Structure 1
Amino acid sequence: MSLHRVIYSSRPFGFDEAVLSNILMDARKANARDGITGALICRSDIYLQWLEGPETAVEETLARIKRDDRHVELTLHVEGPVPVRAFGDWAMLHDPATSWIWTMDEVADGAPERADPAQVIAFFTRLRGQTLDSAPG
């Protein structure tokens, strides 16, 4: 099975904790069923998500997200094959965005739309490193 990855950002519409909980619950259930793993960084002003798994499943998931009215202004940052999973242990790792991603002012000024793939991948590389560093040993 070849693995496929997409990384996108979008702006939340109607964001609150209940909406986020519903998104995470739906994502974890569907991702476990479809063989998708990944991570979600989110705040009230941005969703930044890494999805990985079988190409068809990842593409279908992205299509559902594009139709979901809780996401607006979706920007696709990275798409293509990957040799291994980066977030294989998580149906959907959730991390509230910390200060090392764009500030709210930068998001409002369009930083996600201008970001290059390396910058976006670096956010998740750092998240993965922090998660592994804090995992029980």
Structure 2
Amino acid sequence: MDAGSFMRIAIGVFFVLFGLGLIYMLIRLAGVFSAAGAMVQDVDREVVPILNRLQTTVDEVNQELGSVGSITGNVAAATGALENTTRAVQHTVGSPLKTVAGVSAGLSRAVTTLFEGKRKEA
């Protein structure tokens, strides 16, 4: 056996071992891809119902926000009506009260002046 034959055998053994190692790694890689595929299927199976429930919740929240908008509009209308009523009552009651206050102030001043005039004469 000369060096050339030995090198051919060594290279052949090396390639056989390299091929076996490569096959082993590819089998392990196939296992990893299989596990990853199963994990993706599990996630898909669990996420889709969660997304459906989330969509239902968002739809219900949008409905409630529409109701809140309607309530806000009704409150604004009631506030406007109350403001108009307050102005009307203020105008209706305010003018006569001012008149009564003015008359009572005038009478008070007249009575005070009348009694002060009698005190000076005495």
Greater strand fraction, Structure 1 or Structure 2: 1
By relative contact order (CA 8 Å, sep 6+), the higher-ranking structure is 1
TM-score of the alignment, normalized to the shorter chain, above 0.5: no
TM-score range, shorter chain: under 0.3
Greater helix fraction, Structure 1 or Structure 2: 2
When normalised by structure 2's length, the TM-score is 0.18
